[in-house]
Amino acid sequence: MKAIRIISRVLLGLLFIFSGYVKAIDPIGSELIFIADFQAFGMEFLNPFALLIGILLSTAELVLGFCLLMGFRMKLTAWATAAFMGFFTVFTFILAIFNPVTDCGCFGEAIKMSNWATFYKNVILDIFVVIIFWQRNNYRPLSNCCNEIIVGTVFATLMVLLSVYCLRHLPLIDFLPYKVGVNIQQDMEIPEGASSDVYETIWTYRKDGKQQEFLLEGNKIINFNNRNEEYDFSEFSKEWEFVDRKDKLIEEGYKPPIVDFSIISRDWYYITDSILNLQGYLFIVTLPHAEDASLRNAGKINAIYDYVLANEDLHFIGLSGSDEEHVMQFIEQTNALYPIHITDEKPLKSMVRSNPGLMLLHNGTIIAKWSHIDVPSTKKLEKKYLSKNPDKLIVQHQTGENFASPLLAIALFVVMIILAYCFRKYGYQKES
């Protein structure tokens, strides 16, 4: 039983740390998920607190995972874990039944799961939760209460600071469709021979006050619930009154990574292809909400635009999801002279987790992204980006990103191992 007890604690702890970490490094993503949930359940009054709740949730998961791995305060941790998983098991069951949102965001943008898959995953995890809760009195304290509280508080503080850092800058790991190395135009295309969505059109008719659903095949009407019951359309239309029609998805086809991106000029021309097919370097300022955009480094962005004007092979545009009034207000406040085109706010929030944000493309491929705090100077741009091979820049960025998460995980485990050794050797005090 001891081995099962340890395995349950370690597995659940690792999963909690992974789930909390992928949300902690993308606090804006967590905020958007909570806003979608609040809107689905008619709780829009909580929208202003979505970011804070997202940070607190990721921190709670990380702390629970840390306590489970370290064996801290296992009686209290077992109760907290049971309450946490009990709530989210019920919540994901409700999502699976009513499907108000397509993704609950339990693993942020890292792993997408359907609502039913998320619920089944929680049911399996509940088995480990039950074992931990059942055996909560058999776990030996790792150290005295004071030591464990101090270490747990320090760990929680560090995790909050991690979220704040990623909020001010950009996520340490980019799980979004518009990551460095992606060619936007190519990721919008459907490969030749790829399957398409298959729909079934359901027609609703009424007769003698009763409604019934049918399928239309050629000149025949087929009862939706009894496929052997057929009618000739010419005779059927004389007795039945049309009520409604709806398309039901039967089989989902290929979905390109990017499906919701388009650019409309201020005079309402579709210019997506012409923008994405520009050769050379293209700077894009992203403004999901111009009315809420930070003005802190607007001067640096304007300086980059002035630099672009002096170079023929460089291009510069802005994209905003706001209405004309708010865009004009932003222009007046920042003295922005670059053209700002229209794009839906949803892809803008996925392009750069910053308002405003800045992207650098080369021949339609993303090679760099910055938050408004990290907008580089023109000298740094010229030295570090515009004078370098774009392909090498992409490889360097991807290599650094691929090493960032494992190194952080290794550092975290080394710290936990050292703490565990020190507490067991020096800090443990038998408690009554």
pLDDT tens digits along 197-241: 777 788 888 888 888 888 877 667 887 777 777 777 767 777 788
How far apart are alpha carbons 281 and 264 in whole angstroms? Answer: 20
Q: Does residue 206 sit in helix, strand or coil?
A: strand
The residue whose two tokens read 């030591």 is: 147
pLDDT digits (tens, 9 = 90+) for 78-129: 999 999 999 999 999 999 998 888 878 888 888 888 899 999 999 999 999 9
Enter the DSSP assignment of 141. P
Q: What is the pLDDT of residue 431?
A: 41
CA atoms within 13 A on the CB side of 282: 20
Contacts of 352 (CB under 8 A, 6+ apart): 170, 178, 286, 358, 359, 369, 370, 371
Closest CA to 322 of 355, 290, 346, 353: 290
DSSP code of residue 269: -
* pLDDT < 70 stretches in the chain: 141-143, 218-219, 234, 404-406, 408-409, 411-432
Model confidence pLDDT, tens digit, residues 125-145: 999 999 999 988 887 766 677
Q: Strand runs (DSSP E) across 141-234, as ranges?
A: 198-207, 210-217, 220-223, 230-232
- How many C-beta atoms lie closer than 10 Å to residue 226's C-beta? 9
Taking the domain 272-388, which CATH number applies? 3.40.30.10
Q: Cis omega (within 30 of 0) on the bond before 356?
A: yes
The kind and range of the H/E element at 159 are: helix 145-168
The CA distance from 342 to 187, in Å, is 20
Residue 373 DSSP SS3: helix
Rounded distance between C-alpha atoms, residue 197 and residue 254, angstroms: 7
Q: Residue 137: its pLDDT value, please?
A: 84
* Triad 106, 112, 118: Cα angle to 5°: 50
Percent of the chain beyond pLDDT 70? 91
Tokens linked to 264: 């409309």
Tell me the residue type at 192. E
3-state SS class at 281: strand
pTM of the model as a whole:
0.82
Domain boundaries, the chain: 2-168, 198-251, 272-388
Half-sphere exposure of 202 (CA within 13 A, CB side): 13
